[in-house]
Chain A
Amino acid sequence: MFPTLKTGAVMQYPAKKTLLFNTDAIRFLDGTEQRFRDNASVLHQWIIQLDLLDEAELVTLDEFFLSSQGRFGSFSFTDPWDGTVYPNCSLAGDTFSFQLRGEMRGKTTLTVCENRT
């Protein structure tokens, strides 16, 4: 499970979500097109921007990154928009960084993407 903040929330505003289709389009000499799906269904991606975190919250995310081994691990993620649980998600990157500007002033960004199952 993706960790939650002390408030119980997963994300903070501004929250970003992306829906990804994969369509192939073949354009013929006469200008007509034929389009078809490359993938069976839509994939979701969430960009989680977090600010004003305390050190414990940052370390919880850091431990989650380490246990996931970056993009390698998979986990379930609950979409904060509608509560849908996506059982097979991963971190999008092999990098996790945070900045501590003072006590309880930590800042970081994580991207979670849904895996094709």
Chain B
Amino acid sequence: MIYFPQLSSGATGQFPIVRQRMARTVINQSAQDYQIKLADAAAAITEWHLSFEEMSDQELAALEALFQAVEGRLTPFTFLDPADNLLAWSEQQNQPVWQADSLLILTGGVADPMGGAAAYQAANATGATLTLQQSIAAPASLDYCLSLYARSDQATRLWLVRGAETYAQAIGPQWTRLISAGQLTDTADSISFGIALDPGTTVDVFGFQVEAQVAASLYKETSETGGVYPNARFQSDAFTITTVGPDRNSCELDIVNVEYL
């Protein structure tokens, strides 16, 4: 899998980050100003403008290697949006994108820590550990941060699943944001994130978020698509680098994701 590299800090981008979404709407406008509209969902375009400053030679080499591997605009690569939650349907664990063990009981419409009712209750009435996970098509070897809010009427523990690794975290009646971050040695082209419940445990969960970085940022709700773009391309065939001293490089990149390509 060809993918956009992370910096040594584990981040995919530096501030400022600019993201632009473009839709296409065909409009038939009458002389009286009435409109008939037709959406062209397949023509959607997402663009990012990324500026990198004070990059090391190693970081620059990784970007340059990617640019050469994809031959400029020619071939696509996987881009993980640095300003988005990588999971889809972050508040709808009943969507098919979430893989729940069949005996795990999920109940929606539970009060969430943001004052709404978008949390889910997950109950494991069996004698085995059950999981709720979502897999994303991104390299498992990158730095990721999984975060979610959880609570339970009884003091218990909840396992956070990040690829092949699981971490137990203690929870109680108060909502707590649980975080699991780090880098795996796995080289797979996909990675799963989620939770695992011990036998007989019932927990309320909300705000699942995965970011390609080492720490959690504010929770961002997602719907049909998360921030994984497997069909991203460079916008230009030129890659200009400015070096102002040893190990001090900068560059600007435009990346585009076009659904119909």
Contacts and interface: CB of A to CB of B under 8 A. Distances in A.
B38 A72 contact: yes
Interface string A88-117: 001000111111111101000000000110
A56 B47 CA distance: 19
Given A54-B218, A55-B83, A97 B37 contact: no
A54 B23 CA distance: 24
B33 A97 contact: no
Interface of B: 15-25, 27, 31-35, 37-39, 41, 47, 83-85, 217-224
Interface residues of A, number: 34
13 contacts: A38-B33, A39-B33, A56-B219, A56-B221, A59-B221, A65-B23, A70-B24, A71-B27, A72-B23, A94-B22, A101-B16, A102-B15, A116-B34
A22 B15 CA distance: 44
A95 B17 contact: no
Interface of A: 22, 38-39, 43, 54-56, 58-60, 62-63, 65-67, 69-73, 90, 94-103, 105, 115-116
A66 B32 CA distance: 28
Contact of A96 (B20, B41, B221): B20
Contacts of B85: 59
A52 B214 CA distance: 24
A59 B220 CA distance: 6
Nearest to B15: A102
